[in-house]
Amino acid sequence: MNLTYTQEDELFRLEIRSWLEANLPEGWIEGRRNLPENDRQRKDFLKAWQRKLMEGGWAGIHWPKQYGGRGASLIQEVIYQEELARVKAPPVLNFMGINMVGPTLIQMGTSEQKEKYIDKILSGEEIWCQGFSEPNAGSDLAGLQTKAIERDGRWYITGQKVWTTYAHMADKCFILARTSSTGKRHEGITAFLIDMHQPGVEVRPIYQMNDDHDFNEIFLQDAVAEAADVVGGVGMGWQVSMALLSHERVGVAGTIFHLENIFENLVQDMQREAANRNTAIDNPHHASKLAQIYTRLRAASLNYYRNLTKTIDQGYPGPEGSIDKLVSSELSKELTNFAVSMQGIQGVLWKGDENTSVDWQHQYLQSFGSTIAGGTTEILKNVIGERILGLPKDLK
């Protein structure tokens, strides 16, 4: 594992760091980082931020230069994520479009699709979501039942999708539907690009226990997809979806860097003076627990860089990313749970201690979702057991 950076990479770091310091929203560096609570206002705020990133050449940096990217290397993508995490930059609203849909269209889309969608993805003019999971086909993608029927040169899609992130803010959806029921389960699937604002699409929020609703259900009743919006050809949805998933190149880097940030916030909160008592960090038991979390967080970070080095050396990601995802999601629960317990009796309140640097109650409740999104803990353990440890597969 090599933790050194080339001179070119360090110059890249200085460039993005300088740009962020000059272009972050007003007051952001000073700590005024609250996003608008209203969905419409939040969407407008984040779309404006992505447009600024695009204009500065910092949206889709891994895209080829001919499509508006920088052709950044994998290690430069990680540096980019490090610097965004360092300043706690606003999230990229069009995450799915930038990281998954855009690269897939660049790789497999028609000239018409590239001309119609690529620029608007990069600028954030059109926000994308991904319609893969269904109520009875979450981790089992080949089990999807949403159907698409061709009539008069158009495709009419009927079915239901679930756990669709940002569907309530999305303008377009990269969706999979079954166009044939013959053959093997992963055959007969087709990828479509559809308009989320048409009459045949209904989005219903899924409220999480922290009262957020980033996830949604999508109900489709004869939603229309034009023939020109089939990606990769009819019946090629499985191959297209595998290509799309392969574009998630930096894995859980952002999650690990985020955990490092909130760990620093936890230390600051524990060092804060409280009336009529010592700081929480003075308690030997608390200090010991904090040291344990730090040790595991540091190990997770180093393991991520080790897996990243392997990916760079072999030219493609391996199953080791499942370890990174599993460790980071479980550690997120433990860290935020400990932070809530540090508030004492105020920890049972919805907002908790108002003097803390983070809304720990919100973060703790949100952490449970991280053990599901992007691969459930159970699926990740199977991958680790079978593909890394060489254990036998489950009997069916």
Question: pLDDT tens digits, residue range 211-248?
Answer: 888 889 999 999 999 999 999 999 999 999 988 887 77
Q: What are phi and psi of 40, to 5 degrees?
A: -65, -45
Residues 258-284 pLDDT 10s: 899 999 999 988 887 654 456 778 888
> Which neighbouring-strand residues pair with 131?
175
Among residues 146, 124, 17, 134, the alpha carbon closest in space to that of 60 is found at: 124
How far is residue 278's CA from residue 267's CA, in Å, rounded to a whole number? 14
Q: Is the pTM of this model over 0.85?
A: yes
Cα separations in angstroms, 23 against 26, 85, 261, 298: 8, 15, 21, 31
Q: Which residue among the candidates 82, 150, 248, 260 is catalytic per the annotation?
A: 248
Amino acid at 316: Y
Contacts (Cβ under 8 Å, ≥6 apart) of 170: 127, 128, 129, 196
Contacts (Cβ under 8 Å, ≥6 apart) of 318: 307, 310, 311
Quick check: helix, strand or coil at residue 130? strand
Walk me through the domains of the chain, giving residue ranges and CATH numbers. 7-93 (1.10.540.10), 128-237 (2.40.110.10), 253-388 (1.20.140.10)
Contact 202, 218 (CB under 8 A): yes
Q: What is the CA radius of gyration of the chain?
A: 22
Q: Is the pLDDT of residue 337 over 80?
A: yes
Confidence of residue 396 (pLDDT cuts 50, 70, 90): low
Please state the rounded mean pLDDT for residues 118-133: 96
Residues 51-92 pLDDT 10s: 999 999 999 999 999 999 999 998 999 999 999 999 999 999
CB atoms near residue 344 (< 10 Å): 13
Q: For the chain, what percent of residues have pLDDT higher than 70?
A: 96
Question: Residue 276's pLDDT is what?
Answer: 47
Q: Is 248 a catalytic residue?
A: yes
Q: At what angle do helices 253-271 and 321-341 cross, to 10 degrees?
A: 20
Residues 272-322 pLDDT 10s: 765 445 677 888 888 899 999 999 999 999 999 998 888 888 887 888 888
